[in-house]
Amino acid sequence: MSEIVNKVAKSGLITLDMKTFKGSQNRKIIDIKNWLYEGMVLKEKKFREHLKNENWEQYKDAFVALHCSTDTIIPVWAYMLITKYLNPYASIIIYGNEKELEKIIFHLNIKNFDTEQLENKRVLLKGCTDTYIPEDSYVQLSNKLIGNVKSLMFGEACSNVPIFKS
Residue at 3: amino acid letter: E
Per residue in 65-116, pLDDT (tens digit) is 999 999 999 999 999 999 999 999 999 999 999 999 999 999 999 999 999 9
Separation CA 106–CA 93 (nearest Å): 15
Predicted TM-score (pTM) of the model is 0.86
- Would strands 13-17 and 92-95 be described as parallel, antiparallel, or unpaired? unpaired
Give the model's pLDDT for residue 156.
87
Q: 99, exposed or middle or buried, with CB in 10 Å at 0-12, 13-18, 19+?
A: exposed
- Would strands 151-156 and 159-165 be described as parallel, antiparallel, or unpaired? antiparallel
As a whole number, mean pLDDT of residues 29-53 equals 94
Question: What letter does residue 59 receive in the DSSP assignment?
Answer: G
